[in-house]
Amino acid sequence: MADQRRDVLETFDNQFPDRDYKIEIVCPEFTSVCPKTGQPDFGVLILTYTPDRKCVELKSLKLYLHTFRNDGIFYENVTNTILDDLVAELAPRRMQLRAEFSARGGITTTVTVDHLRDG
Amino acid sequence: MADQRRDVLETFDNQFPDRDYKIEIVCPEFTSVCPKTGQPDFGVLILTYTPDRKCVELKSLKLYLHTFRNDGIFYENVTNTILDDLVAELAPRRMQLRAEFSARGGITTTVTVDHLRDG
Amino acid sequence: MADQRRDVLETFDNQFPDRDYKIEIVCPEFTSVCPKTGQPDFGVLILTYTPDRKCVELKSLKLYLHTFRNDGIFYENVTNTILDDLVAELAPRRMQLRAEFSARGGITTTVTVDHLRDG
Amino acid sequence: MADQRRDVLETFDNQFPDRDYKIEIVCPEFTSVCPKTGQPDFGVLILTYTPDRKCVELKSLKLYLHTFRNDGIFYENVTNTILDDLVAELAPRRMQLRAEFSARGGITTTVTVDHLRDG
Amino acid sequence: MADQRRDVLETFDNQFPDRDYKIEIVCPEFTSVCPKTGQPDFGVLILTYTPDRKCVELKSLKLYLHTFRNDGIFYENVTNTILDDLVAELAPRRMQLRAEFSARGGITTTVTVDHLRDG
Amino acid sequence: MADQRRDVLETFDNQFPDRDYKIEIVCPEFTSVCPKTGQPDFGVLILTYTPDRKCVELKSLKLYLHTFRNDGIFYENVTNTILDDLVAELAPRRMQLRAEFSARGGITTTVTVDHLRDG
Amino acid sequence: MADQRRDVLETFDNQFPDRDYKIEIVCPEFTSVCPKTGQPDFGVLILTYTPDRKCVELKSLKLYLHTFRNDGIFYENVTNTILDDLVAELAPRRMQLRAEFSARGGITTTVTVDHLRDG
Amino acid sequence: MADQRRDVLETFDNQFPDRDYKIEIVCPEFTSVCPKTGQPDFGVLILTYTPDRKCVELKSLKLYLHTFRNDGIFYENVTNTILDDLVAELAPRRMQLRAEFSARGGITTTVTVDHLRDG
Amino acid sequence: MADQRRDVLETFDNQFPDRDYKIEIVCPEFTSVCPKTGQPDFGVLILTYTPDRKCVELKSLKLYLHTFRNDGIFYENVTNTILDDLVAELAPRRMQLRAEFSARGGITTTVTVDHLRDG
Amino acid sequence: MADQRRDVLETFDNQFPDRDYKIEIVCPEFTSVCPKTGQPDFGVLILTYTPDRKCVELKSLKLYLHTFRNDGIFYENVTNTILDDLVAELAPRRMQLRAEFSARGGITTTVTVDHLRDG
């Protein structure tokens, strides 16, 4: 399923590759399912990146995130997985994904994952 | 059209060129048109710069931004284009443009572009 | 499916039936699917009621709301339907459901439905 | 132009006509043009109504509001005109339109217009 | 235990019985235990009343509320019970207790109970 | 000076005299001078009215308010005076002026004055 | 001491006695001493009144409130006492005093007292 | 009791040990008892860490924090003790615990403790 | 006029010259006049400095700022001029002036000027 | 008086002297008297320190701050004096005191003083 999922992502060419600039995308409507309880989880995803050759197309990003809607997956894993997929498709200069999950049992969790291109 | 647009910008002489200081201008009423859907986009522009010889005249800046009102142009491109035009007219020591666009499809995008004068 | 759905709701006896009091329940994590676009909708449900003989059990309410997760249904219809189901199960003295849906196309919609027991 | 404009509005049948309920729609991205200065005006429209036979379709409402984008029209007139058009199309039981316009010359204006169906 | 609990409450004489006035007391640190799960619940209590002959002494109110710390009791019952105890001790002209409980399972509950002295 | 001042106010015809509607105007930049200390006072004026035949033109209202800039006048008097002038010029169906003055000596004062047309 | 205290209050003539209007005064810096513990109490006083023949002079009000600085007095008593003094000096048409005291032992208390002039 | 307490904590394997990332957990419902007064204390705990081989399981963390519910312990000590226990169980690369305690006597205290792995 | 203006500023001796500490002064009620339109401008001034031998006396600072009340002067110039005057009078170790001007034409401007003492 | 004042402060032993950690204490109810006008001043004190051998006991800190209640002292001096006293008693590794004073004459002042232990 993971490969199928990544195919949903579309990109377009960065028109200003000579400049190092930052794009921040906030998705306040992320939802997946807790693998332990089967209950839905909700969260806000905050993606920040500096594009190299490619930018992510927003509608495809939304559809990609919807593919997690009925998947059972832990917070830490979903955050790392989304970053890995976006890095694989975009090869950005820098990228950070911050996932703020809603309270469960009176406890709120935020996972922040960074990627910095090698070399 | 691009050249015509830049002609709208007016400048005045910086009276304190010996001092390195910062001017921040917030324009919460920017609007252009999405080139894919033809629907209007809305955003807040936050311009920060350190002037060298010239400052931008505020009313002309407003009129310049109005020229985008009925143009179809992507977020990343409009942000980079405005920065390029302002850098060409003002030759500032440093300049940043941050464009916070309103939510579309439940997703909010912010593009931040920086310029640092050569040498 | 509607009948199956209502079976999820559980109730418990109101221990203070001689007093006219108010219970307010806020569910900020409601989600269903737009029947036109197939895209997920998100909203906050605010239920306020004065119980008569029965109160709604919270966990069963949560499970009941989850049954809409993959259903295609309009804002106005989902709000009226939930109120109808709760009225049928609880026979409350008064009940209001306020559903605040997240922005779509830059437009936010809230539907408010009231029930007052006959006679 | 006014007639052409109203044709953009679409409606759908209210599925719960036996119940008196309230729909609130917030459009934070309204823009028109000041007839005196030719400069754009910006505002937030808050529409609240109790439907009778018909509800307004949201996408058509958005397109209808876009028709004012390049029109020169005063605050008081645009608010009354939109209410008149919606009343003519929907024949609602009750309707209110509140238009909060952005500051001009350091002064902020809000116009609130109500309709109550005769008899 | 209930009788023992009420004994903790102390009162003092209202010095201005000829005037109808209002006292509001906010206790943001209420905690008890969920009778189903054994997990702690947390809430904010907002007590509003018009005294007749007696006012509640604040420190004794705090100690009284602490007696619920390790008790298993439902939201609706704890709210009604506290109101009943305070009414029995103070015989106020009017009294309202509003209990806002912290989110559980993504759902927040508030119970509001009123007392009006008989004729 | 009072007559001269009122001459600054301009009006335009209410295009919808058959409808009873409300206009709210917020002026956050009002300033006058304290008659006792000679120091400047600052305040926010909130004007709300239902027009009859005439509406106030916004730019003239701004200029009218500027005429108080260097006048020494008490809070209560300036609020009542502005209401009197606007009532004399507009003959509104209903009008309220609320003036929120900034803190002096750690104390904040708000004066609210209402007018309701006779008979 | 009480008589001495009231002598501090000064008034001035209401210039608009024919109009029924409202004056609201917020004093966020009230402090007195707890008679039980000897520790200082802090609070915000919100005075609202409709003047008849007299208005309270603000500086004298501030000095009057300072006379409580080192007095030991309970919340309910200080609020009723200040209202009584102001009513005696101003004979207002209506007056309300709302005193919001800072948290003690995790509990916040607000006392609200109203006066309505006899027929 | 301390050993018994630490046994409550459970861990799971970090699936992404090659990446240095951050997990932030907010627990707004911490309560213990003041060793001097015997009265309950309340606080918000904010735990931030970079996992190495192990992550803390959230439900066990909640149960672990509940073990302090009826313990008498000072602010500084409880904060350092919780950090010590979590470091012993998780051996994280970096960890910070920030404990914001509710006001007592009008004074609010926050204790922040950091751990950085040796070598 | 400029010399006359600076004479208004008074200073007092810094009692702790051996310590490097920071004083921040916020003046939310600055007003001057736009030299182009003749209309009043409003702004908030935020002054931060580390004193050397002298501190600015607050009442004299207020009176100094009032001297701009009826002067026509541009944003950039007024901010630099005030900093120059304060540096000349105080010879501070470090000083920053941040001037946030109210919106004009839907655009908000902030000017930030820094001074660092030579060698 | 200064010596007498410092005697009020009590300390307790830091149980975790091997760890470099931070304690932040917020006192929103500080009051003293202006030496020029004799009027009370109000402020919020924010104390942050890293303890070495000793921590300050909170109740004694509160009593120490109350000793300034009727003293006439300037903002800059009271802030430096409190820091000096606390440094003398605690010999902390690092300490900062930030004092935010309430507005006087429309101007708000904050003084921030730092101590770093010698070599």
**For B15-57, what is each residue's pLDDT tens digit?**
999 999 999 999 999 999 999 889 999 999 999 999 999 999 9
Beta-carbon separation of E106 and A105 below 8 A: no
Examine the pLDDT at B119 and tell me if it is beyond 50: no
Tell me the per-residue pLDDT of A51-95, one tens digit each, with 9 for 90 and over: 999 999 999 999 999 999 999 999 999 999 999 999 999 999 999
Query: H39 to chain G nearest CA, in Å?
Result: 9
Could you say which residues of chain F have pLDDT below 50? 119
Say yes or no: I39 contacts chain F, CB-CB below 8 A.
yes
Beta-carbon separation of E111 and C23 below 8 A: yes
Q: Quick one: which of G29, F93, I72 has its CA closest to J101?
A: G29
Tell me the per-residue pLDDT of H76-98, one tens digit each, with 9 for 90 and over: 999 999 999 999 999 999 999 99
Give the DSSP per-residue string, B16-84.
Answer: -TTS--EEEEEEEEEEEE-TTT--EEEEEEEEEEE-SSEEE-HHHHHHHHHTTTT-B--HHHHHHHHHH
Mutate to test the interface with I, among J73, J76, J104 (most CBs of I within 10 A): J76
Examine the pLDDT at D7 and tell me if it is beyond 80: yes
Examine the pLDDT at D76 and tell me if it is beyond 70: yes
Examine the pLDDT at C1 and tell me if it is beyond 60: no
- F88 by Cβ neighbours in 10 Å (0-12 / 13-18 / 19+) ranks as exposed
- Give the mean model confidence (pLDDT) for residues E3-10: 88
Window 52-91 of F, Cβ < 8 Å to I: 62, 66, 69-70
> Looking at the partner chain, which of J28, J31, J62 has a beta carbon nearest the beta carbon of G31?
J31
- pLDDT of amino acid H117: 79
- Give the mean model confidence (pLDDT) for residues C9-16: 96
Q: Which of A32-46, D56-70, D105-119 has the lowest mean pLDDT?
A: D105-119
Q: Quick one: which of C89, C103, C87, C88 has its CA closest to C113?
A: C87
- pLDDT of amino acid F2: 58
Question: Of C58 and G3, which is predicted with more confidence?
Answer: C58
Q: What are phi and psi of I96, to 5 degrees?
A: -130, 140
- pLDDT of amino acid F117: 79
- pLDDT of amino acid B57: 94
Examine the pLDDT at I119 and tell me if it is beyond 50: no
The Cα–Cα gap between G24 and D16 comes to 46
Say yes or no: H38 contacts chain J, CB-CB below 8 A.
no
Please say whether the beta carbons of E43 and E102 come within 8 A: yes
Query: C109 to chain D nearest CA, in Å?
Result: 4
> If pLDDT is split at 50, 70 and 90, which confidence band does G4 have?
confident
> If pLDDT is split at 50, 70 and 90, which confidence band does E4 have?
confident
The Cα–Cα gap between J100 and E38 comes to 44
- pLDDT of amino acid G3: 64
**Active-site residue, from E3, E7, E34, E114:** E34
Percentage of chain I lying above the pLDDT 90 cut: 88
The Cα–Cα gap between E72 and E67 comes to 11
Query: A110 to chain H nearest CA, in Å?
Result: 5
Say yes or no: I13 contacts chain J, CB-CB below 8 A.
no
Percentage of chain B lying above the pLDDT 70 cut: 96
The Cα–Cα gap between C56 and C49 comes to 10
Say yes or no: C22 contacts chain E, CB-CB below 8 A.
yes
- pLDDT of amino acid F4: 79
Q: Quick one: which of G34, D64, F88, C58 has its CA closest to J29?
A: G34
Examine the pLDDT at A119 and tell me if it is beyond 50: no
| Residues of G in Cβ contact (< 8 Å) with E20 | 114
Query: F104 to chain J nearest CA, in Å?
Result: 6
User: Which residues lie closer than 8 Å to D3 by C-beta, 6 or more apart?
Assistant: none
Q: Quick one: which of F57, F54, F78, F94 has its CA closest to F2?
A: F78
Examine the pLDDT at A118 and tell me if it is beyond 70: no
Say yes or no: D13 contacts chain C, CB-CB below 8 A.
no
Mutate to test the interface with I, among B22, B47, B58, B90 (most CBs of I within 10 A): B58
- Give the mean model confidence (pLDDT) for residues E63-91: 95
- Give the mean model confidence (pLDDT) for residues C51-68: 96
Beta-carbon separation of J29 and H109 below 8 A: no
DSSP tag of H38: -
> Looking at the partner chain, which of A28, A40, A62 has a beta carbon nearest the beta carbon of C66?
A40
Query: Rounded to the nearest 5 degrees, what angle is found at the Cα of E77, between the Cα atoms of E75 and E79?
Result: 70
Please say whether the beta carbons of H117 and H93 come within 8 A: yes
Examine the pLDDT at G57 and tell me if it is beyond 70: yes
What ipTM was predicted for this assembly? 0.91
Beta-carbon separation of G106 and E62 below 8 A: yes
Say yes or no: B42 contacts chain C, CB-CB below 8 A.
yes
Place of tokens 């307790």: J12
Tell me the per-residue pLDDT of J56-79, one tens digit each, with 9 for 90 and over: 999 999 999 999 999 999 999 999
Task: Output the CA–CA distances (angstroms, integers) from residue C96 to C49, C119, D19, D48, G4, in the order listed.
Answer: 6, 18, 12, 17, 56
The amino acid that residue B99 corresponds to is A
Examine the pLDDT at I13 and tell me if it is beyond 50: yes
- pLDDT of amino acid F119: 47
pTM over 0.90: yes
| Helix (H) or strand (E) run with residue C90 in it | helix C75-90
Q: Tell how many helices (H) and how many strands (E) occur in chain H.
A: 3, 6
Q: How many contacts does E have with G, using Cβ atoms within 8 A?
A: 53
> Looking at the partner chain, which of B76, B77, B104 has a beta carbon nearest the beta carbon of A23?
B76
Place of tokens 């002959």: E53
Place of tokens 């004298």: G60
> If pLDDT is split at 50, 70 and 90, which confidence band does G104 have?
confident
| Helix (H) or strand (E) run with residue J25 in it | strand J22-33
**Active-site residue, from G34, G52, G71, G84:** G34
- pLDDT of amino acid J119: 47
Query: G105 to chain H nearest CA, in Å?
Result: 6
The Cα–Cα gap between B86 and B114 comes to 12
Residues of C taking part in catalysis: 34, 41
Could you say which residues of chain H have pLDDT below 50? 119
Q: How far is CA B39 from the centre of its chain?
A: 21
Chains J and B touch (3+ CB pairs under 8 A): no
CA dihedral E73, E79, E80, E81 (to 10 degrees): 60
- Give the mean model confidence (pLDDT) for residues G85-106: 95
- Give the mean model confidence (pLDDT) for residues I19-40: 95
| A68, two tokens | 């997690």
Examine the pLDDT at E81 and tell me if it is beyond 90: yes
Beta-carbon separation of I103 and D105 below 8 A: no
